[in-house]
Amino acid sequence: MNIGDVADAAGLPAKTIRYYEDIGLITPHRSANGYRQFTQSHLHKLAFIARARGLGFSIEQCRTLLALYEDRDRASADVKALAETHLSEIDAKMAELSEMRRTLAELVQACAGDHRPDCPILKGLAAPDKAD
Amino acid sequence: MNIGDVADAAGLPAKTIRYYEDIGLITPHRSANGYRQFTQSHLHKLAFIARARGLGFSIEQCRTLLALYEDRDRASADVKALAETHLSEIDAKMAELSEMRRTLAELVQACAGDHRPDCPILKGLAAPDKAD
DNA sequence: TCTTGACCCTCCAGTCACTGGAAGGCTTAT
DNA sequence: ATAAGCCTTCCAGTGACTGGAGGGTCAAGA
């Protein structure tokens, strides 16, 4: 398969696949004309990476997951540990966003949003503890 | 004030403040020795930016907020619109994270996490619809 | 007076994971 | 012969910093 075919099949831009080759995630062969040649196995890997990325794993985490995937003797505990690490990263981000959301929603709530210049949002940003 | 003083007072690294000058968010004066000189007004602005960044506004959104803050004739509706845009950005990110979390938690749940190689997490990444 | 340590300066490069674009080669069909 | 649609490499940019090298400045103490 050429790069366009795997790109379509894996749901990734061709550019991204070239980048993944650059950083050593995959190593397609080359045909005589210099085109990258992908096998089903390459496609599997790319789809695997695409899904892991979709779950928010970093490229380095994907590299590790891929290595575990290819290692028939891995312990599932190693995979689970990595997934749990990522799960708590997600939880941390969600907590951060949730706190932002709470504060921002309060400010928005307090703002009339009319033609007048008086604005609790700006006041809140300027001096959070005495937002009027 | 020197950069170290405003850095402490605004709760920002000195490097970050230099960067903010680079991109034109603030323009401190210089004393004879080349050191940046900050006024209370600069400090206010920096603290304002720090808080807006803390609520997740992008630098460009901060630039706009700062301009609105300085404009005594702004309409609070303009500020509110920006804040609401950002609020929905936050909501979108939270929804995305929440979906990732849901899927990942399911996989983690299904994984024994022992010494054996059998791993539903890897299976789920390899072929999401038939994760066993 | 000298030195030490804590400041400050600029400039360059790196982070993360791509993404866009230029300039050109290959393939297939008309 | 030419056009469309692939493919290639290489360079540069994104956002928002962050680290480090290499050097100047300042205030306090011996």
pLDDT in tens, chain B (132 residues): 999 999 999 999 999 999 999 999 999 999 999 999 999 999 999 999 999 999 999 999 999 999 999 999 999 999 999 999 999 999 999 999 999 999 999 999 999 999 999 999 999 999 887 545
How far is the alpha carbon of A33 from chain B, nearest alpha carbon, in Å?
A: 31
* C-alpha triplet A10, A16, A21: angle, nearest 5°: 95
What tokens does B74 get?
A: 């702004």
Give percent above pLDDT 70 in chain A: 98
Query: What pLDDT, on a 0 to 100 scale, did the predictor assign at position B32?
Result: 95
Binning pLDDT at 50, 70 and 90, where does residue A130 land? low
Instruction: Kindly determine whether the C-beta of residue A14 is less than 7 Å away from any atom of nucleic acid strand C.
Output: no
The mean pLDDT of A45-56, rounded to a whole number, is: 97
Burial class (CB in 10 A: 0-12, 13-18, 19+), B111: buried
Burial class (CB in 10 A: 0-12, 13-18, 19+), B42: buried
Nearest nucleotide (CA of B5 to C1'): C7
The mean pLDDT of A35-46, rounded to a whole number, is: 97
Instruction: Kindly determine whether the C-beta of residue A25 is less than 7 Å away from any atom of nucleic acid strand C.
Output: no
* Residue A116 DSSP class: S
In this model, does residue A70 exceed pLDDT 90?
Answer: yes
Query: Which residues of chain B have a CB within 8 Å of the CB of A80?
Result: 108, 111-113, 119, 121
Query: What pLDDT, on a 0 to 100 scale, did the predictor assign at position B128?
Result: 80
